[in-house]
Structure formats: structure tokens, C-alpha cells
């Protein structure tokens, strides 16, 4: 997977292009950036082009969840941007997941880009076992549900999943080493958990089997973002 710095994906969780550019300038050592819903809705592909011009890797985290035809159209369009990772919800079902995978590759091919690795969101890390049972009325253990969503994604042709680091070791055993695990909910010991209910330290998450770690506020909201990023890399061992 490369060095510790290459395993960290930093979210551009800011409202607009100006704030995003400021973060890119403040953290030139970051190689992998996440663009989520807020920034993509406000800035669209403009920011993606800026990232590509800086030779950065892109995690387009839009978490598509719709009927197969709509999923295919959205993923085909996303594939044209040359992004590296693209998220869809596993709960959208096998037909939609298969359509998403095929369409993303088609979009990339049409633009002469490498196809993105489409990965499935198993369960949002803000949802704990009580919320799964009480709010969503899903009467299975949280780990069983996450395992089933990952297996569904793999059976549908997807090549990875988003999961809490607490489920990484289970999914690594279940899905194998070639199935990438991207883990939000990662917080160094000196940072607050925020709204992540199933958090783990960066070193613990990698040891559990995570390929990539999504680490946002401990870096982007630090008094010195570059120093915070360097400290996390050091704690991970490189």
C-alpha cells in the first residue's frame, strides 16, 4: 500500500472552492483527497480538475443510492472525471451495484481514463447497533449486517468497501486481501471522536486490515494542519 502518508485520505469537507484551494495549498504533502457531497454540489467538476492538475488522487465520495438505471448514469458520468475511488451504497442492491461498476468503467474508457475502483458503503459510521435496530428496524447484529453488505458488494463485482475500522479485520478475513477497505472513523489518540461512533486510532486501523484511512478534522481543523498530518504519519510508522 505504500508509505503511511499515501494511506491517508484527507477530506475536503469545506463549503466551497476557495476554502478547498486553501487546504490544498496548506497541505501539499497530501497525495489523496476526498471530495464529498457539499463540495461537489457547490463546485462540481471544477475542483476535480484542480486536483488532477496537481497530480492528486481523488476519492469521489458521493454515496450513490438509487435504482439501477439512475446509478448507472451517475457512475458513468463520474467515471469520466478520472477519479480513483467512487462510492455507492451497498444497500442499493445487487442489480444497481453491478450497473454502477459497469457504467463507471464505460465512462472512464470514453474519456481515456483509468476506471475508478467502485467501493460500497456498508453502513455509515455514525450508525451504531442501537440505531440500526431501533431507528432503521434492521433486526440483525451490526457486524452481521456489515459483513453481508460487503459480501454483496464483492459478489456484484465491486472491489472494495467503506467500513468502520472496527469491522476491518472481519471483512479482511471474509473478503480477502484484494478487496480494499477504506475506513473513516479514524482518530488519533489526541483528537476527539466527533460524530464517529465506531472510531479507532490510525495505527490500530491499519493493523486491523484497513488499506486507506479517511482522516479529516484532526488534520484540517488543527492549528497547524501540516504538523498534524506529519504527526499521524509518524504514529503510523512512516
DSSP string, 180-225: EEEE--B--TTS--TT-SS-B-HHHHHHHT-SEEE--HHHHTSSSH
| Reported confidence tier of residue 194, pLDDT bands at 50, 70, 90 | low
Mean pLDDT of 159-181: 95
Per-residue confidence (pLDDT) for residue 11, from 0 to 100: 97
In this structure, the dihedral spanned by the alpha carbons of residues 100, 158, 96 and 43, taken in order and rounded to 10 degrees, is -40
Q: How far apart are CA 175 and CA 125, in angstroms?
A: 20
The total number of structural domains in the chain stands at 1
Task: Summarize pLDDT for 102-114 with one digit per residue, the tens.
Answer: 999 999 999 999 9
| Reported confidence tier of residue 1, pLDDT bands at 50, 70, 90 | low
pLDDT at residue 196 tops 60: no
Cell triple for residue 189?
Answer: 489518540
CATH of the domain at 121: 3.20.20.70
Task: Summarize pLDDT for 3-15 with one digit per residue, the tens.
Answer: 888 999 999 999 9
Catalytic residues, by residue number, are 63
Task: Summarize pLDDT for 38-56 with one digit per residue, the tens.
Answer: 999 999 899 999 999 999 9
Question: Going by C-beta distance under 8 Å and a sequence separation of 6 or more, which residues neighbour residue 83?
Answer: 48, 58, 59, 60, 116
Cell triple for residue 212?
Answer: 486507506
- DSSP, res 123: S
pLDDT above 90: percentage of residues in the chain: 84
Domain extent, residue 27, equals 4-236
User: What pTM did the predictor assign?
Assistant: 0.93
Mean pLDDT of the chain: 93
CB count within 10 Å of CB 130 equals 10
Contact 166, 200 (CB under 8 A): yes
Amino acid at each position: 500500500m505504500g508509505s503511511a502518508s499515501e494511506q491517508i485520505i484527507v477530506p475536503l469537507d469545506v463549503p466551497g472552492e476557495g476554502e478547498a484551494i486553501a487546504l490544498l495549498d496548506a497541505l501539499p504533502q497530501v497525495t489523496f483527497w476526498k471530495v464529498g457531497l457539499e463540495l461537489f454540489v457547490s463546485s462540481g467538476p471544477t475542483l476535480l480538475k484542480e486536483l488532477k492538475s496537481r497530480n492528486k488522487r481523488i476519492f469521489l465520495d458521493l454515496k450513490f443510492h438509487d435504482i439501477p438505471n439512475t446509478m448507472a448514469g451517475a457512475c458513468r458520468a463520474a467515471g469520466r472525471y478520472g477519479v480513483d475511488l467512487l462510492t455507492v451504497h451497498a444497500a442499493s442492491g445487487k442489480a444497481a451495484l453491478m450497473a454502477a461498476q459497469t457504467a463507471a468503467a464505460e465512462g472512464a474508457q470514453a474519456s481515456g481514463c483509468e476506471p475508478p475502483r467502485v467501493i460500497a458503503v456498508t453502513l455509515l459510521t455514525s450508525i451504531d447497533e442501537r440505531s440500526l435496530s431501533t431507528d432503521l428496524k434492521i433486526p440483525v447484529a451490526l457486524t452481521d449486517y456489515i459483513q453481508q453488505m460487503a459480501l454483496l458488494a464483492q459478489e456484484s463485482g465491486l472491489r472494495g468497501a467503506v467500513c468502520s475500522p472496527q469491522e476491518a479485520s472481519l471483512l479482511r478475513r471474509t473478503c480477502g486481501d484484494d478487496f480494499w477497505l477504506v475506513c473513516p472513523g479514524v482518530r488519533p489518540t489526541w483528537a476527539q471522536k466527533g460524530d464517529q461512533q465506531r472510531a479507532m486510532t490510525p495505527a490500530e486501523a491499519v493493523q486491523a486490515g484497513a488499506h486507506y484511512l479517511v482522516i479529516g478534522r484532526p488534520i484540517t481543523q488543527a492549528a497547524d494542519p501540516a504538523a498534524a498530518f506529519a504527526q499521524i504519519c509518524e504514529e503510523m510508522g512512516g
